[in-house]
Amino acid sequence: MNTLSTVNPFTQQVLETYNFQSKQEIDKTLNQGHLAFQHWRNTAIAVRQDFIHTVKNKLISQRDAYATLISTEMGKPLVQALAEIDKCALLCDYYIEKVPAFLQAREEKYLDKKVVHALSPTGIVFGIMPWNYPFWQVFRFAIPNLLAGNTILLKHAPSTTGCSLALHDLFSSEAFPNRFQSLIIDLHQVESIIAHPAVQGVCLTGSVKAGSAVGELAGKHLKKSVLELGSADALVILDDAILFKALDGAFQSRTFNAGQSCIAAKRIFVREQKIEEAIAYLQGKLKDLRIGNPLEEGINLGPIAKIEFVQQLEEQVKRAIAFGARKISGAEAQGAFFTPGIIVSEASNPMNQEEIFGPVLNLIPYQDENTLLRNINNTNFGLAASVWSQDEAKAIQWAHGIEAGTVVINDYTKSDPRIPFGGIKNSGFGRELGELGFRSFLNEKAIIII
């Protein structure tokens, strides 16, 4: 096929059909991006700041339209889509303020020489981005790179192609053309882009399968890569934690965006003696959810992004039950929706090695804390985790023992523009956000003065 179609997940109606771009069109885009980089890399920091400030103002001025587009293409409730747009604006503010300090050269003096450590841009950064946060995921890799002097090439998820083109228009500028470009391409076209000499980095957020394939291509063509992949994140409620506060965090983490988030709490560890109390509390919260048309006011859980994902979720829950899990309520397909629900599984259930990408509250009982850490770390993933306790020192000690890129104490995991974010193991490598993420696709040059 030479086309792709986007589908409204609520109505299941086709929204638009798009043609894949030809090799000639892709080559033209790459050449334009390279020429743009040659100019952009030499612009003053203040010019780049002004450019991103303009992008932010355009974003806010069209906030409602962009949020509606997000909800229409991937099913997120409108109030959550609006929050996504607002978070993108906050990210712009953070990097606009910090970029002069982040790019400041640093000097070191030795007895026989002086070394200047300088950061410089490298070229086009190719972003392969997912559908679940179609604006935020793009902003978090594009904004710091543009401010650093790199240029951007985007391949978005096919199901959010409308968002991809909207982002292309948002970043368009007559004064600074081709700093940000979107492509509509098929998977087999990806390698030629990664191999192109103008492309100096690849940033992917997606599945382990996608990350493995792109990581292999990046290695083959010697391109730096940052991969943020799947997870089976643990939310750990220690015995001294305020149970209902921790369960509120677990509930919000697992139902926001219909549970379609890499950093959602997918394994919720609760003391065995408190499992029934936890079940009763969560069932009460499930009753308060309003499920329906994501564009309707008051809705806080929309459809799953694609109908095939609904079927996948149902199969995963069935397999968990076949391996001994107990289904308490919900957790089943209902047309384009997957009803939020609760299951109770043992830590050894093989399904706890998979990522369940939907609103399934998976409670895992533990008898004591002696084997708890081993069960938390018994996973091929390592993106994030949260620990709940009234004893901060104890919680910090637990955080040090958990194998993950981020551990949050007494809150559920949320990405923050100020804090580096990324995983270990099959959750990927490299970092986005914060100062560390800012440096991911820059050349750290040592200038040695004798």
List, for residues 146-190, the tens digit of each pLDDT value.
999 999 999 999 999 999 999 999 999 999 999 999 999 999 999
Sign (positive or negative) of CA dihedral 87, 91, 94, 97: negative
Please list, in sequence order, all residues whose beta carbon lies within 8 angstroms of the beta carbon of residue 382, skipping any fewer than 6 positions away: 231, 403, 404, 405, 423, 424, 425, 426, 427
Give the E-state strand segments of 145-294 in sequence order.
151-155, 180-183, 199-205, 224-228, 234-237, 267-271
Confidence (pLDDT) at 368: 87
Residue 327 pLDDT grade (very low, low, confident, very high; cuts 50, 70, 90): very high
Mean pLDDT for the stretch of residues 268-297: 97
Cα gap 262→140, rounded to integer Å: 15
Residue 204 pLDDT grade (very low, low, confident, very high; cuts 50, 70, 90): very high
Assess whether pLDDT exceeds 80 at residue 1.
Answer: no
Catalytic-residue membership of 216: no
Assess whether pLDDT exceeds 90 at residue 416.
Answer: yes
Q: What is the pTM of this model?
A: 0.97
Mean pLDDT of the chain: 97
CA 289 distance to own-chain centroid:
24
- Catalytic choice (73, 262, 355, 432): 262
- Catalytic choice (84, 228, 403, 432): 228
Domains and CATH numbers, the chain: 3-229+427-449 (3.40.605.10), 234-416 (3.40.309.10)
Mean pLDDT for the stretch of residues 90-110: 97
Tokens 């379609």 label which residue?
260
Confidence (pLDDT) at 18: 98
Assess whether pLDDT exceeds 90 at residue 298.
Answer: yes
Measured CA distances, 87 to 137, 192, 259, 414 (Å) = 11, 33, 19, 11
Measured CA distances, 105 to 99, 101, 150, 435, 450 (Å) = 12, 9, 18, 14, 18
Mean pLDDT for the stretch of residues 251-256: 98
Share above pLDDT 70 across residues of the chain, in percent, rounded to a whole number: 100
Catalytic-residue membership of 88: no
Per DSSP, 354 falls in state S
Cα gap 373→367, rounded to integer Å: 12
Cα gap 64→377, rounded to integer Å: 42
Assess whether pLDDT exceeds 90 at residue 370.
Answer: no
